[in-house]
Structure formats: structure tokens, C-alpha cells
Amino acid sequence: MIDEPQMDAPEQPGKDSDLGGFHVKTVYGPVSSWRLGRSFGVDPICREDKVCSFDCVYCQLGRTKEKTCERREFVSVDDVKKDLDEVLARVEADIITFSGTGEPTLASNLRGMIDHIREVSSLPIAILTNSSLLSESKVRKELYDLDVVVVKLDAHNQELLEKINRPCEEITFEKILGGIKKFRSNYPNKLAVQTMFIDKNKKYASEIASLTREIEPDEVQINTPLRPCPVKPLDKWEIEKIKTEFRGLNAISVYEAEKVEVHPVDLEEVYIRKRPEP
């Protein structure tokens, strides 16, 4: 494993913080997601600074302050239970999604959070993952019970992976692709592959599409960074051209999808901070 940077301990979710006087929680939204509809977020990392196994050039959260592949507990299951119990009855959502201030599969207690959501809600559960830990059998098993899993595939080889996603040293493209395929072979529910297209990988759309066909996902999500970030998004016509490479697959693009109206719960309490769209 790489050495983890030493960081000051951030405020714990569910506790009073100094972030603009807001009461920071592990839940947020719902937000209007072009992929998932009215999505209510659960953030199992819940840090002011992003903790992730990648440092993607296009990430709207900025640079990864702590890049790690080591799973650990960031927030307790009890904190998530408390936050969910306070607001879930007032939430109008289509789905509950694990996403937020880092790679959600880094949370070693993710299974406990999933189990509690199943106990208190009938809503489907999704996760947005960068696929970096799917090579670990324990992680795959934890995700088998979810209703929707969205995996990331932005590259077709190690060189491009390092240029775009800038992963931890021990993460290889072969591990990522192999992990996704192993997960697909045993996962009975909806698997979506998302690719974020930017200038660095747009000319490799055909190669990425070829690998996506090997995965046999239920859906392909063709994205480009429309939210503020260091990287310029591709134009609509460029995304339309890229989509033709995915013919024969159930592909949708960020420019095509319609967003639904949402009514976030108690924004003065459930502070969204810089969390990305679930």
C-alpha cells in the first residue's frame, strides 16, 4: 500500500462543524441525477477533503488530498442510521445512492450501511464506484445485494488510466477490467458502465467501446464534465459522434438525458458541501 498522508482529523458527520454554520451529515439531497432520477445520497466517506483511490483530472472536488487503496471506517454505521432516521421519512426520491466525497467502496463498514438501508427503506440502492477495488472478492460480495451498480471505465490501457484517473500505484488497468468482469459474471441486477470523455480519451472511444462490449453491461453512460472542474467538456456533437461507437449497446449520454424536479430536504441541516451528483 502507499503511505497515507498525515491529515488533521476532520469533523465527524452528524456533529456540529464549522462549515458555514451548517450541521454536516452523511446524507444529502435528493438531487436530480441524469442517470438515476431523484437520487438521495449517502456519503460513507464524508470528509471535507476528498479521500479516493483515484485523482481524476476532471474531478469536480478538485485534487485528491488523501490517495489510498486501504479500506477503513470513515464514519460509523450509527451515524448513518441517525442521519437517515432523521430525514428519510420526508424524502421524495427514486433511489438511494452511495456517493460523495471519495470512493465509497473504501468504507470498510459499507455492508452495515447497506443492511440498515434495507431495514428502513424499500427504495432501490445504487453505488457509483471508480471500479478500483472490484478486484477484491470481499468488495464484490458487498455490492452484489445492490440494485444498481455504476462502474467507471475511462481508459483502455494503463497509460491512459494514469493520464486521466491517476490511480494509486498498486492499481493497474488489468486489475480494474478483471474486477469489473468478475463482478458482472455474478451480479444479477443492473450494471451500468460510465465513461467520462474528455480531450485525453475521446480518440479512443472505439477501443473503450470494444472493452465495454466484453463486460456486457445493462447500460452505458456516456458522460463529459459539465459541472465546473479543471477540464473542458466535450461539445454535444463530439459526444454524439462518440455514442455511435457504442451502437448495439444501451447507451445514453449526458446531453440527452432529462433531469427531474427535486425537493432537497432541509438544506440548512443536510449540507451538500462539494458532493458530486449521485
- Give the residue-averaged pLDDT of 186-200: 98
Domain ranges of the chain: 27-253
Grid cell, residue 93, equals: 426520491
22-36, 174-188, 219-233: least confident range: 22-36
Core vs surface per residue 177-188: b (16+ CB within 10 A) or e: bebbeebbeebe
Q: Is the pLDDT of residue 15 over 70?
A: no
Kindly indicate the confidence band of residue 277, based on its pLDDT and cuts at 50, 70 and 90.
Answer: low
Select 27-253's CATH number: 3.40.190.10, 3.90.1150.10, 3.20.20.70, 3.40.50.720: 3.20.20.70
Contact of 122 with 151, CB cutoff 8 Å? no
Kindly indicate the confidence band of residue 274, based on its pLDDT and cuts at 50, 70 and 90.
Answer: very low
List Cα–Cα distances, 236 to 212, 220, 223, in angstroms: 22, 17, 10
- Give pLDDT tens digits for 137-158: 999 999 999 999 999 999 999 9
pLDDT at 18: 31
pLDDT at 262: 62
Distance of CA 28 to the CA centre of its chain: 14
